[in-house]
Structure 1
Amino acid sequence: MLKYLHNIRWNRVLYLSLFFLGVIAVIIVMSLVNRKDEQQVCREVNIFIEGKEAFIDQGDISALISKSYGHIVGKRLLDIPLEKIEKTLKKLPYVSKASVHLDMDGIMAINIAQREVVMRVINKNGREYYIDLNGLKVPTTLKYVPHVMIATGNIEEGYKNPLDSVNTSLVKDLFRVTQFIEKDELWNNQVVQVFVNNDRDIELVPRVGNQQLIIGTADSLEQKFSLLRTFYKEIIPKVGVDAYNKVNVKYAGQIICEKRGVWTFDDLHHPEKKIKNNTL
C-alpha cells in the first residue's frame, strides 16, 4: 500500500485538482453573472446626435421611444427590444444612421446621424421639400429651417413620401447645379437662389446685381460658370453691374447679353451722349 502511494505522481494530482476547482469556480461565477444579467435593469439612456442639421433633438428621440416602447429606465435589460428600437429610429426621415447598444452596467447608448440637406424646393403649386446629399426627398418642418439653396419657379415635381428619389430631369439638374455652386467659394457667395423660368431654363439669382443669369440645364457646368466668371471679371468692370438685363450662357461657348436701356459702349466714355440717348 505504501509502495502504491509512493508511486502516485502527486504533482499531477495537484494540477488536476486545481484544474477542476477552477472549472467549478468559473461555473459558479457564470451562474451568478447570468442571474445578475436577468435581474439587471436599465439605469440610464444616453442619446448622441451627429450632423450639422437640427431637425431632431434628444427630446424628440426620447419621446418617440417612450411612446413606442414605454419607459426604458428601470426596465430589465432582457426586456428591451434593441433591434426594434433601432429600426424605429432608422425610419425617421431625418435620420441617416442609427445604432442602439446596452452595456453590462445598464446604460443604453443611442447614436444617431442626421441627414444633410443641400436644397429646398418650392414647386409652382407651393409644395415644399428638401433634397439631401443622396438625392432623396426630406419633408420640411417649422421646427428647423436649414440655410440651403432655394429652388423656385416653374417646377412641377412635388412631394409624396419621405425619402422618395428625385424623378424628373429638371429637379435632378437643379440638384447638380446646387452642388456645383456649393463647392465653389465664389458662386456660393454670389448666388442666393436658383429659379426655373417659363422656358424651363434654370436661372441664377445673384447677390450683387439684378440681371437674369440663364444657364439652361446642368450640362457643361464648368464651361458655363467659366463664362459667367468672365462676365463678372472682364465685362462688369467696364459697363457697370446694372448695364445688362439678361446674361445667357446656355449655349455652348457663348455669352449673350441683353442691354438694359439704350446705350452704346461709346456712351461709357462720353457720359453726355448716354444722357442724350436715354432721353431719346
Structure 2
Amino acid sequence: MLKRINWKSVFKCFAWMVCLSGVVVLMSFVDRKKHTVTCTNIKILIPGADNFIEREEIDAILKQSQGQLIGRQLEGINLQEIEKKMKANPYIAMATVYADMDGVIHVEVKQRQPILRVINSGGQDYYIDSDGLKMPVSPNFTANVLAANGNILEHFGGKVDTLITKLAVDLYTTAAFIKKDTLWDAQIEQLYVNEKKEIELIPRVGNQRIILGSADSLDVKMRNLLAFYKQAMPKVGWDTYKTINIKYTNQVVCEKSKADSVKVKVAPRPVVKDTVAANKPVIDALVRQQIAQEIKNDQLDDEGRLKVGAKPRPDPPKAEKKQAKPTSAANKPVVSSTTKPGAAQKPASAKEKVKTDTRKNK
C-alpha cells in the first residue's frame, strides 16, 4: 500500500523554490539595470557638530579614488574602493557608500569625536577620541575639549593608534567620566600630571588643585569631592584651601592656603584740578558775546543799516559819575537850555521817503 503524500512539505518546498527563483530574477533585473544607469548626483552626509572634515575633502577623496563620477555608469564605479579610501582618513571613524536605482551615490561619513587634547612632555599635541584612540590635531578645526599636560610620556606616531601607557588610559577614563557629567564638565577645565605621575584636576571655580591620583575608583572619588563641595565649601569659602586630595577613597585631605602678610604701600592719588569749572566764566563770556553779535547782525541789512521795524538794541547803561558837592552854602540855579526854532530836525529827503515806502510795500 502506497504511503500518503505529505502535501504540507511539498507546499513548503514549492514556496521556497518560488521565492528563490524570484530573488534570482530580481537580482538579474537589478544587475541588468545597473549596466544602463549612470551617476546623476552625489549626496554627502557628515553628521555631528565637529568639522574635522569638510565636503570639499570628501570630493577630493572621491576624485582621487575613481575620478569624475557624475555621468559615468554605476557598473564602472568601485564603491568598495571609495569606502576604503574614506576609512583611511584619520578623522573619519566610519564611512558607508552606496548607490540607488536613480543613479545617486550616497556617502555617509561619521567623524571621530575627541574628548581630550593631550600635550605630552615632548611637546607633541594630539587628541584622544571617544573610542580611546589617538588621532592627530586638525589644522582647520579646534575641538572644544578638556586639555591634559604635564609629565605625560605617551608618544604619538602621527596616525590613529591605541593607548599604550596606563597613565594615558587613566587620562582617557577621567576625561570620559567628566564628559558624561554636566557638573564636572562645567567645573573641570584641565588635567595635569605632576612629578609623582598623579593626575590633578584644575577647576574653573576656586584656586585649589584637586589631586585625583589615578582613575581607580573614580566614581567614589568624585562622589566624595561632590559631598565636600556641598558641605564644606559654603562654610569655609572657595579660596580657603590650596589643595584638595581625593586620591584616597575613604577620606578627603585638604591643605590650607597661607594668607599673604606683606603690606603694599599705595601711592597717594594726585589731585587733578577741574579745568572745566575754572574756565567756565571765560567760556560764558565768549558765548554771550557771540550771541550779541548774532542779534546785531540780524537787525542790519546788507548795506549795514538798521532794518525797518527792527528795534535797536539799547546800549548797556553806563556808570554815572558822582558830582562833587558845591562848597558854597547856596546851590547855583540850573539853567535849562531851550531848543531854537531854527535848530529843528530837517525832514527826510524825497529819496529816503521813496526808499522807505518801497521797503514797506515789499
Provide the TM-score with structure 2 as the length reference.
0.61
* Partner of residue 267, structure 2: none
Pairing 1:54-203 to 2, within 5 Å after superposition: 54-203=51-200
The number of residues matched between the two structures is 237
Same amino acid, percent of matched pairs: 41
How far apart are residue 237 of structure 1 and its match?
Answer: 1.6
Alpha-carbon displacement from aligned partner over 1:38-63 (angstroms, at most 9, x marks no partner): 34321111111123321112111011
Is the Cα–Cα contact under 8 Å of residues 154 and 165 in structure 2 kept in the other structure?
yes
* Larger strand fraction of residues: 1
Q: Assess if the C-alpha contact under 8 Å between 2:207 and 2:239 holds in 1.
A: yes
Q: Counterpart in 1 of 2:319?
A: none
Amino acid at match of 1:219: D
Q: What is the DSSP-based 3-state SS (H/G/I as helix, E as strand, rest coil) of the residue aligned with 1:177? A: helix
When residues 53 and 279 of structure 1 are mapped into structure 2, their CA distance, relative to the original with a 3 A threshold, is: closer
Q: Which amino acid aligns with 1:117?
A: P
Contact 1:192–1:206 (8 Å) recurs in 2? yes
* Aligned 8 A contact 1:118 1:179 in 2: yes
Query: How far 1:169 moved relative to its partner?
Result: 0.3
1:37 is displaced (CA, Å) by 4.0
Give RMSD over aligned pairs.
Answer: 2.3
Gaps of 5+ in 1: 1-26, 263-274
1:207 to 196, 204, 207: 204
Deviations 1:41-86, CA, capped at 9 Å, x for gaps: 2111111112332111211101111123211112222111111111
Q: CA deviation at 1:254?
A: 1.8
Specify every segment of 5 or more residues in structure 2 that has no aligned partner in the other structure, as ranges. 1-24, 264-362
Structure number with greater CO (CA < 8 Å, separation at least 6) is 1
Tell me, yes or no, if the aligned pair for 1:203 and 1:216 is still in contact at 8 Å. yes
1:47 and 1:174 map into 2 onto residues whose CA distance is 35
Write out aligned runs for 1:252-271 (5 A): 252-261=249-258
Maintained 8 Å contact 1:128/1:158: no
Which structure has the highest helix share of the two? 1
Alignment partners' CA distance in 1, 2:219 and 2:212: 11
CA contact (8 A) 2:65 2:81 kept: no
- Partners of 2:49 and 2:160 in 1: CA distance: 19
Tell me how far 1:155 sits from its aligned partner: 0.4
How far residue 227 of structure 1 moved from its aligned partner, in angstroms, is: 2.0
TM-score, scaled to structure 1? 0.79
Query: Contact conserved, 1:51 with 1:115, CA < 8 A, in 2?
Result: no
How far apart are the structure 2 equivalents of 1:86 and 1:233?
Answer: 51
Cα distance in 2 between the residues matched to 1:250 and 1:53 = 34
SS of equivalent to 1:129: strand
Is 1:52 matched up with 2:49? Answer: yes
